[in-house]
Structure 1
Amino acid sequence: MFNLTPVVRVLLILNVVVFLFTNDAIIEQFGLHSFLSDKFNPIQLLTHMFLHGGFGHIFSNMIGLVVFGPMLELFWGPRRFTFFYFFCGLGAALLFSGINYFETHDVYETVQTYRLSPGFDSFSAFVDQYAASYYERLVPFLEKFKSYPNDSKNLQDSVSIANRILLNQVDEPMVGASGAIFGVIMGFGLLFPNTQLFLLFPPIPIKAKYLVIFYGAYELYSGIYRAQSDNVAHFAHIGGMLFAFILVKYWGSQRKTFY
Structure 2
Amino acid sequence: MLQTFQATPVASVIFALTIGMSLFVFSNPHWFGRLMLHPHTIHRDRSRFYTILTSGLIHKDWMHLLFNMMTFYYFGFSLESMFVQFSGAAGHLYFALLYLLSLVLSDVPTILQHRNSIGYYSLGASGAICAVLFSFILFQPKAMLGLFMIIPMPAYLFALLFLGYCVWASKKANDGINHDAHLYGALTGIALTLLLYPWSIRHFIGQF
Normalising TM by the smaller chain, what interval?
0.7 to 0.9
Answer whether contact 1:73 1:81 (CA < 8 A) is retained.
yes
Partner SS state of residue 170, structure 1 = coil
- Give the direction of change, closer, same or farther, for the CA distance of 1:174–1:202 in structure 2 (3 Å limit): closer
Distance 1:255 1:245 in 2: 13
For 1:124-143, list aligned pairs within 5 A. Answer: none
Deviations 1:128-150 (A, max 9, x none): xxxxxxxxxxxxxxxxxxxxxxx
Answer whether contact 2:114 2:120 (CA < 8 A) is retained.
no
User: What is the TM-score of this pair, normalised by structure 1?
Assistant: 0.67
- Give the direction of change, closer, same or farther, for the CA distance of 1:200–1:172 in structure 2 (3 Å limit): closer
- Give the direction of change, closer, same or farther, for the CA distance of 1:30–1:39 in structure 2 (3 Å limit): farther
Partner SS state of residue 39, structure 2 = coil
Question: Which residue matches 1:256?
Answer: 203
Distance 1:202 1:70 in 2: 19
- Give the direction of change, closer, same or farther, for the CA distance of 1:96–1:210 in structure 2 (3 Å limit): same
Answer whether contact 2:194 2:201 (CA < 8 A) is retained.
yes
- Point out where structure 1 has 5 or more consecutive residues left out of the alignment: 105-168
Q: Aligned letter for 2:39?
A: S
Question: Which residue matches 1:217?
Answer: 164
Question: Which residue matches 2:29?
Answer: 24
Q: Does 1:242 align with 2:154?
A: no
Greater RCO, CA 8 A, separation 6+: 1
Partner SS state of residue 181, structure 2 = helix
- Structure 1 range deviating more: 246-255 or 52-61: 246-255
User: What is the TM-score of this pair, normalised by structure 2?
Assistant: 0.82
Identity of counterpart residues, as a percentage?
26
Partner SS state of residue 193, structure 2 = helix
Answer whether contact 1:185 1:212 (CA < 8 A) is retained.
no
Question: Which residue matches 1:15?
Answer: 18
- Point out where structure 2 has 5 or more consecutive residues left out of the alignment: 84-90
Q: Does 1:63 align with 2:70?
A: yes
CA shift for structure 1 position 38? 5.0
- Give the direction of change, closer, same or farther, for the CA distance of 1:88–1:202 in structure 2 (3 Å limit): closer
Deviations 1:57-109 (A, max 9, x none): 111110110111122101112111111011111111112212223xx4xxxxx
Question: Which residue matches 2:109?
Answer: 95
Deviations 1:5-43 (A, max 9, x none): 322221111111111211332110111111456577111
Tell me the matched-pair count: 188
Question: Which residue matches 1:53?
Answer: 60
- Structure 1 range deviating more: 23-32 or 59-68: 23-32
Question: Which residue matches 2:96?
Answer: 82
**Is the radius of gyration larger for structure 1 or structure 2?**
1
Answer whether contact 1:180 1:240 (CA < 8 A) is retained.
yes
Question: Which residue matches 1:191?
Answer: 139
Deviation beyond 6 Å, 4+ runs, structure 1:
none
Aligned-residue Cα RMSD (Å) equals: 2.1
